[in-house]
Amino acid sequence: MKDSIRHLIQQALARLTAEGVLPEGSNPTIQVENTRDKTHGDFASNVAMMLAKPAGMKPRDLAQKLIEALPADPSVSKVEIAGPGFLNFFQNSAALAQRLDAALADPHLSVSKTGSKQRVVVDLSSPNLAKEMHVGHLRSTIIGDAVARVLEFLGDEVIRQNHVGDWGTQFGMLLAYVKEQPKGFDSPELADLEGFYRAAKQRFDESAEFAERARKLVVELQAGDAECLRLWKQFNELSLSHAQEVYDRLNVMLTPDDVKGESAYNAELADIVASLKVKGLLSESNGAQCVFLDEFKNAEGNPLPVIVQKAGGGYLYATTDLASMRYRSQQLKADRALYFVDQRQALHFQMTFEVARRAGFVRSDMQLEHMGFGTMNGADGRPFKTRDGGTVKLVDLLDEAEQRAYSLVKGKNPDLDEGELRQIAHAVGIGAVKYADLSKHRTSDYSFNFEQMLSFEGNTAPYLLYAYTRVASVFRKLGTGMDGLGGEIKLEAEQEQALGAKLAQFAEVLNGVGEKGVPHLLCSYLYDLAGLFSSFYEHCPILTAESETVKQSRLRLAALTGKTLKQGLALLGLETLERM
Ligand code: ARG
Q: How confident is the model at residue 466 (pLDDT cuts 50, 70, 90)?
A: very high
Best residue for ligand 1 mutational test, from 137, 163, 167, 347 (most atoms within 8 Å of Cβ): 163
CATH number of 2-91: 3.30.1360.70
pLDDT, tens digit, 9 for 90 and up, residues 235-282: 999 999 999 999 999 999 999 999 999 999 999 999 999 999 999 999
What average pLDDT does the segment 473-501 reach?
A: 94
Which one, of 386, 578, 556, lies nearest residue 476 by Cα? Answer: 578
101 pLDDT above the threshold of 90: yes
Q: How many A from CA of 294 to the centre of ligand 1?
A: 25
> Quick count: other Cβ atoms within 10 Å of Cβ 466?
17
Q: How confident is the model at residue 136 (pLDDT cuts 50, 70, 90)?
A: confident
pLDDT tens profile 13-43: 999 999 988 888 777 889 999 888 878 889 9
- pLDDT-derived band at 128 (thresholds 50, 70, 90) equals very high
How far is it, in rounded angstroms, from Cα 363 to Cα 326? Answer: 9
Model confidence band, residue 467 (pLDDT cutoffs 50, 70, 90)? very high
Given a contact cutoff of 8 angstroms between Cβ atoms, the answer to whether 345 and 318 are in contact is no
- According to DSSP, the residues that pair with 284 across neighbouring strands are 289
Does the predicted interface ipTM exceed a cut of 0.85?
yes
Reported confidence tier of residue 226, pLDDT bands at 50, 70, 90:
very high
Is the Cβ atom of 163 under 6 angstroms away from ligand 1?
yes
CB of 123 closer than 6 angstroms to any ligand 1 atom? yes
Do residues 9 and 51 touch, judged by C-beta distance below 8 A? no
For ligand 1, say whether the CB of 128 is within 6 Å of any of its atoms.
yes
Question: What is Dmax (Cα atoms) for the chain?
Answer: 89
Residues 6 or more apart from 20 whose CB is under 8 A from it? none
Query: Which atom of ligand 1 has the smallest separation from the CA of 348?
Result: 11
- Count, residues in the chain: 580
Q: What is the mean pLDDT of the chain?
A: 94
For 35, list phi and psi in degrees, rounded to 5. -80, 155
The residue whose CA is least distant from atom 9 of ligand 1 is: 163
Please name the residue whose Cα sits nearest to atom 8 of ligand 1: 163
Residue type, 203: R
Ligand 1 centroid to 341 CA: how many Å?
6
- Ligand 1 centre to CA of 126 (Å) is 5
- Yes or no: say if 572 and 522 are a contact pair by the CB < 8 Å rule: yes
The per-residue pLDDT for 184 is 85
* DSSP code per residue over 284-307: EETTEEEEEEEEEE-TTSPEEEEE
Instruction: State yes or no: pLDDT of 349 exceeds 90.
Output: yes
Q: Which of 203, 134, 153 is nearest to 175 (CA)?
A: 203
What separation in Å is there between the alpha carbon of 12 and the centre of ligand 1?
49
Mutation choice for ligand 1 from 345, 355, 361, 368, CB with most ligand atoms inside 8 A: 345
Find all residues with CB under 8 Å of 225, minimum gap 6, and list them.
none
| Residue 391 predicted with pLDDT over 80 | no
Model pTM? 0.93
> What DSSP assignment string belongs to 66-96?
HHHHSPP-TTEEEEEEETTTEEEEEEPHHHH
What does the alpha-carbon distance between residue 90 and residue 76 come to, in Å, rounded to a whole number? 6
If one compares 270 and 394, the residue with the highest pLDDT of the two is 270
93-105 vs 494-503: helix crossing angle, rounded to 10: 50
Assign 530 to helix, strand or coil: helix
pLDDT of residue 58: 93
Dist CA 487 CA 541 (whole Å): 17
341 CA closest ligand 1 atom index: 7
Chain-centroid distance, C-alpha 331: 25
Domain boundary assignment for the chain: 2-91, 170-253
Exposure string (b/e) for 428-456, b if CB count within 10 Å is 16 or more?
A: bbbbbbbbbbbbbebeeebbbebeebbbe
CA distance linking residue 65 with residue 16, whole number of Å: 8
**Dist. CA 123–CA 349, nearest whole Å:** 12
Distance of CA 125 from the midpoint of ligand 1 (Å):
8
Q: What spacing in Å lies between the alpha carbon of 345 and ligand 1's midpoint? A: 9
Average pLDDT in the 162-181 region? 92
Name the band, by pLDDT with cuts 50, 70 and 90, for residue 505.
very high
Q: Are 147 and 122 in contact (CB under 8 A)?
A: yes
Q: Say yes or no: CB of residue 126 within 6 Å of ligand 1.
A: yes
For the segment 313-346, what is each residue's pLDDT rounded down to a tens digit? Answer: 899 999 999 999 999 999 999 999 999 999 999 9
Asked if 32 contacts 5 with a C-beta cutoff of 8 angstroms, the reply is yes
Query: What is the spatial distance between Cα 393 and Cα 561, in angstroms, rounded to a whole number?
Result: 37
Which pLDDT tens digit goes with each residue over 470-479? 999 999 999 9
Distances 569 to 208, 335, 418 between C-alpha atoms, Å: 53, 27, 25
